[in-house]
Structure 1
Amino acid sequence: MSKETGVEWDKRTYNPQDYDDSNDINKALSAAHTCLYGIAHSVIVALGCSPGLGFVHVGHERSFVYDVADLYKAELSIPVAFRTVAKEPDDISSAVRLAMRDAGTIFQS
């Protein structure tokens, strides 16, 4: 995605306690993944499953949420984050949330 969008990528570096202590792409990835976690959590609960019953991720109240979200990051949240940062918005988190909302419509049918 870095090559496709021209957004410089070094590595995933972020401080979960301080969102603003990251570069733009890491902020965008955090925002996009958070949106994806919310969607996954909603679906898991709606299906009557336990969000904490993970297979890959364990020991967290949302382990299964992270397991399910990981299945969609490469096709949804990662591209959204890079494409949004490439547009250089003033408010990255807001732009990412809107882009995730719009990207999510491809799953509705």
Structure 2
Amino acid sequence: MVFTRNVSVGEGEKPFGIYFTNENGKSDGIRLDDEEVEEDLTCEEFSDYLKFMRQSVQMTRKQLADAIDFNFDTVARWETGKRLPSKINTIIEAVRNEVKLRIKYKSV
């Protein structure tokens, strides 16, 4: 599984999104953006998503945990694929918002 990233935070631009695609660039049908959140993610897919998002803005697990108001051990379990959050949509939204903020303020 490969991640492609569309990072847009300006007015009138495409929505921010992370799209899962196979090695040939074909979409696997999973979109994680403002319009649609996939609820049937596996632990591995969510783990990959979380790690990719965190690393895309050079955050540590501790920084991410603090930013989304969870403890480090919980975030570590999600990122290592040991557990899925019970309210996955809420976590995806919180992570996405934090990454957007970091991208926006990094470019200022």
**TM-score normalised by L of structure 1:** 0.27
Q: Which has the higher contact order (CA 8 A, sep 6+)?
A: 1
TM-score, structure 2 normalization: 0.28
User: Normalized per residue, which structure has more strand?
Assistant: 2
